[in-house]
Amino acid sequence: EKAELFYRKILELSPGHRNAMKQLITLFEKQSRYKEAIQIAESYLREYPQDREYTFRLPDLYRQMGWYEVALSEYLKISNDKNYQNDYRTFLGLGKCQFDIIRFKNGRDFEQAIYNLKRAIQLNPEIYEPDLLIGMIYKNYKKYNELAIDHWGKAYHKSKDPEKRQEIKELITEAQK
């Protein structure tokens, strides 16, 4: 509460204060107060439209809030900007939104989600999340266990987080049954 009051006071005195806006967004996000975080992030991007981090953060806030179609629309806008066409986060964001629409909204655009996730891997081969999601699409929706296991194996080797590695290992074990 004190941190929120502090950052709000800074913004009252200096409405475009970059750091205060960022800190308030982070605070609201940690508290799952997404509408408030989105309001500040939209305001922030009006002030600082070239901020790459927040260009991606805003649609991710929409996605976390469950506004998958809005998030997807924002990522599509980003993907049309030549400054972001070779940034893996563009395609990871597209793929995550499409995966969420498949998972939560009964979407069927499996191939486009897989394409975008594979494109993210091409642009940044070190990230594990696209392989994890591709594996889930193959296992849960396309019923291709072997392809799922292959992608989860790749995700397992890329992940450095012991808990995530254990989760992936369990997915592989389950798919092998």
The CA-based angle 54-104-94, given to 5 degrees, is: 35
* CA dihedral sign, ordered 38, 39, 44, 49: positive
In three-state secondary structure terms, 138 is helix
What is the model's pLDDT at position 1? 81
Name the band, by pLDDT with cuts 50, 70 and 90, for residue 16. Answer: confident
pLDDT tens-digit series, residues 62-94: 999 999 999 999 999 999 999 999 999 999 999
DSSP one-letter code for 161: -
Q: Which two tokens stand for residue 164?
A: 């995530």
Quote the CA–CA distance of 58 and 45 in Å, as a whole number: 9
What is the model's pLDDT at position 88? 98
pLDDT tens-digit series, residues 152-167: 999 999 999 999 999 9
**Mean pLDDT score across all residues of the chain:** 95
Q: What is the pTM of this model?
A: 0.90
What's the mean pLDDT in 52-60? 95
- Is the pLDDT at 15 greater than 90? The verdict is no
